[in-house]
Amino acid sequence: MKIVTWNVNSVRARLPHVENFLKDEQPDVLLLQELKCESHVFPFSLEDLGYNIAVYGQKTYNGVAILSKHPIEDVQRGIPNFEDTTSRYIEAFTGGVRVASVYVPNGQEVDSVAYVYKLKFFEGLYNHAQYLLTLDEKIVIGGDFNVAPTDDDVYNPIAWKNQVLCTPLEREAFRKIVYAGFTDAVAQSTQGPMPYTWWNYRQGAFAKDGGLRIDHLLLSPQATDSLNNTTVHRYMRGLEKASDHAPVEVQLKGGM
């Protein structure tokens, strides 16, 4: 089973890329973030490619979605027991797996209001992640976490030291979810240098491979037991008018 997470950075602006990716790669489940559109204007034409769709959109900013070849059931929009006015989390059961698409706030600057909100969001996500582990299911939480977990996930750790995406508090918040019982699938399956998933649009960052690994797939123990492989579809970042993020895939052994 192929499950992919992708910060698409405007689903309508990248629609041709999304369509081609679904046709070429045929993921069973695609988790999208940063839709930048309200739910009713999401391109539901993607259903014609054989996908069921659940959306939690927001005008101009944010927005998350789940596309699946299987029926989508038990949809949860927003993190339970966490008050939030933004559309950053959607969860559902599909194809025998509980999946979630999450778009963690960027944080902007250390000690800013946005940074404090980011840490509170992580705490809400952690609390719900603890609950999910009690369900005894295959669970995959995928998304743009806006955190590079270690210096190995950063092209220039010295330049990024104590900068947003790489601060100790953000990394601690990410590790807290992992230590609760989830597995960072890419880190688990990668031998050698970590693959980056995001490259800034500025200063030729992609051409220089000046990237960070901030898009992650976190697996429950049941999902980890069936972990086969992971792939960062780097080629998608090199396309004309591409998102600044590459899709990240996990393959789980077996089907429903």
Structure tokens belonging to residue 70 = 């299987």
Task: Tell me if 3 sits within 8 A of 217, measured CB to CB.
Answer: yes
Predicted pLDDT of residue 244: 98
What DSSP string describes 4-61? EEEE-S-TTTTHHHHHHHHHHH--SEEEEE---S-GGGS-GGGGGGT-EEEEE--SSS
pLDDT at 81 over 60: yes
Q: Calculate Rg over the CA atoms of the chain.
A: 17
- What pLDDT does 203 receive? 86
Whether 78 has a pLDDT exceeding 90, the answer reads: yes
Are the C-beta atoms of 155 and 182 separated by less than 8 Å? no
Q: Which residues sit opposite 229 in a β-bridge?
A: 251
For the cut 90, the answer to whether the pLDDT of residue 62 exceeds it is yes
Return the ∠ at Cα 173 (arms to 243 and 182), rounded to 5°.
80
- Ordered by where they begin, the domains of the chain are 2-252 (3.60.10.10)
For residue range 89-120, what is the model confidence (pLDDT) as tens digits?
A: 999 999 999 999 999 999 999 999 999 999 99
Q: Is the pLDDT of residue 256 over 70?
A: no
Q: Are strands 64-68 and 89-94 parallel, antiparallel or unpaired?
A: unpaired
| pLDDT at residue 255 in the model | 55
For residue 169, pLDDT beyond 70: yes
Q: What does pTM read for this prediction?
A: 0.98
